[in-house]
Amino acid sequence: MSKIKPSKGAPHARIMGVGGYRPTRVVPNEVILETIDSSDEWIRSRSGIATRHWASPEETVAAMSIEASGKAIADAGITPEQIDGVIVATVSHFKQTPAVATEIADRIGAGKPAAFDVSAGCAGFGYGLTLAKGMVVEGSAEHVLVIGVERLSDLTDLEDRATAFLFGDGAGAVVVGPAKEPMIGPTIWGSEGDKSDTIKQTVPWDVYRDGTVEKFPAITQEGQAVFRWAVFEMAKVAQQALDAAGISPADLDVFIPHQANMRIIDSMVKTLKLPESVTVARDVETTGNTSAASIPLAMERLLATGQAKSGDTALVIGFGAGLVYAATVVTLP
């Protein structure tokens, strides 16, 4: 018989607060058209994007995360000292080590929490949320800060007609803490590594360092293949998350998918047969695709504008490079 004492975690976990930060510079499609042969109409029809935010040199991954985190912690009604876990989902922090989560934890005054980064592309926030829930329920942390943050403008090839208009910068954060009833449902997550070439970095960092190529690495993708996968396969994953939570589309109040593309969002709504009463996040129009930051940023905007309210039941799903995905049902803070 084991001599190890059982963990003393919370019975369940919930999102207690949310915060977001968008860089001050707003970039309209006209700026993108300076380097690609296209039109505003074409960009809007293909992606639904009209503007995006690009970070200044001062708006670093850490700086944006700190701004979003401060709002999330205040919204949760706790102090930074009560944070005992920090998880940062990002693919655009250019230091291999240390994890940017450790810097953020120190600068927000969190003390000595567990702190680490997660690289799961556009599903990164969902991965972080799932890990945070496990930490709270297992008992290794009481309050976990989950941040999705990207500076994708650093990884954008402005001459690539297929992707130059897609990406934006920003940070979104939530605080996950204890709950007496289920408020974060089971996660449906996974990967399809056989499709990893459909979204990828153009060349590894070492190739650029060695001078084999002169062009800085950027994100590229096979648009049609990604579109088909997202619309058909991710709708199935979203339905599985609803089933795992024991609810139907009619029980939903809000749908917050990864803000990759307006056409993907609208197609998923149709495939899932969501009622018109369900509020759908369409933050991509003014924020662009911010990868790991897109779901918390969209969540924060819906709550701030009154399109969603505390206690609403929301389906969230992230999907992207890997290819990886994560979907769950949550109660909004």
Residues taking part in catalysis: 122, 258, 289
d(CA 123, CA 140): 24
Q: Cα separations (Å) of 263 from 36, 123, 152, 267?
A: 21, 18, 21, 6
> Which CA distances in Å does 315 have to 44, 96, 219, 240, 271?
26, 33, 27, 11, 14
Joined together, the tokens standing for residue 175 give 């605080």
Question: The tokens 């449906």 sit on which residue?
Answer: 188
| Cα R_g (the chain), whole angstroms | 19
CA 120/CA 91 separation, integer angstroms: 8
Take residue 141 and report the two structure tokens written for it: 């942390």
Rounded distance between C-alpha atoms, residue 149 and residue 39, angstroms: 29
